Amino acid sequence: MDDELITERRPVTGPHVFGYLRHVTGGLARHAALVDCLTEYCRQHELTLCGVFTDREPTVAIRSPAFVGLVDALGLPDTYGALIPTLSHLGPKGIGTERRRQITTTGARLIVVRSFRPTAASAPPLGTSLGLQPQGDT
């Protein structure tokens, strides 16, 4: 009998993604929390986070060192996409729009962990959880 593990039990890697953060304010704990956010997203969606590029200076140019590194990494074989916590990490509107275009030009996907903000109309009432109804006294 073959002792080799079946595919479902082998450690396999998911599609390769690279993270990008624009972390201008906040300390190391905030940066670590953002990286943890990307890591957890990849774990939940069976993606392999191959690296995280971080800009620490205020965005004044589209092609910052970290963003150039990201675009270069997106050109590697077997790269699926770029992962960001929110669209604001790409920079202010004009810069962010151009960066988004450059990412998609590589053929890679742009994956946004939190792509929208819930509105008051879509949020559950305070004190309740999604999918749960408040229970009365029995």
CATH of the domain at 101: 3.40.50.1390
6: in domain: no
Q: How many CA atoms lie within 13 A of 120 on its CB side?
A: 0
Is 71 inside any structural domain?
Answer: yes
Q: Please tell me the total count of domains within the chain.
A: 1
Residue 137 has pLDDT above 80, yes or no: no
Reported in sequence order, the residue ranges of 1-138 that DSSP labels E, i.e. its strands, are 16-22, 48-55, 79-84, 109-112
Q: Could you tell me the pTM of the whole model?
A: 0.74
- The band of 25, judged by pLDDT with boundaries at 50, 70 and 90, is confident
Q: What's the average model confidence in pLDDT over 78-102? A: 94
In a domain, 31, yes or no: yes
> What's the CA gap between 6 and 130, in Å, rounded?
37
Neighbours of 87 (CB within 10 A): 17
Q: pLDDT digit string (tens) for 26-80?
A: 789 999 999 999 999 999 999 999 999 999 887 678 889 999 999 999 999 999 9
Domain region containing 35: 14-112
In a domain, 120, yes or no: no
Conformational region of residue 64, where left means phi above 0, alpha means psi within -120 to 50, and beta covers everything else: beta
pLDDT of residue 102: 96
Rounded distance between C-alpha atoms, residue 55 and residue 90, angstroms: 10
What is the pLDDT, as a whole number, of residue 136?
44
| Two structure tokens written together for 24 | 């201008």
Q: Does 56 reside within a domain? A: yes
CB count in 10 Å sphere of residue 34: 22
Confidence of residue 7 (pLDDT cuts 50, 70, 90): low
3-30 average pLDDT score = 78
Residue 93 domain-assigned? Answer: yes
Share of the chain above pLDDT 70, in %: 73
* Mean predicted lDDT score pLDDT of the chain: 81
Amino acid letter, 111: I
| Residue labelled with tokens 């396999």 | 12
What are residue 89's phi and psi, to 5 degrees? -70, -15
Residue 8 lies in a domain: no
For residue 122, pLDDT over 50 is answered with no
Q: Is the distance from CB of 82 to CB of 109 less than 8 angstroms? A: yes
Q: Confirm whether 104 is domain-assigned.
A: yes
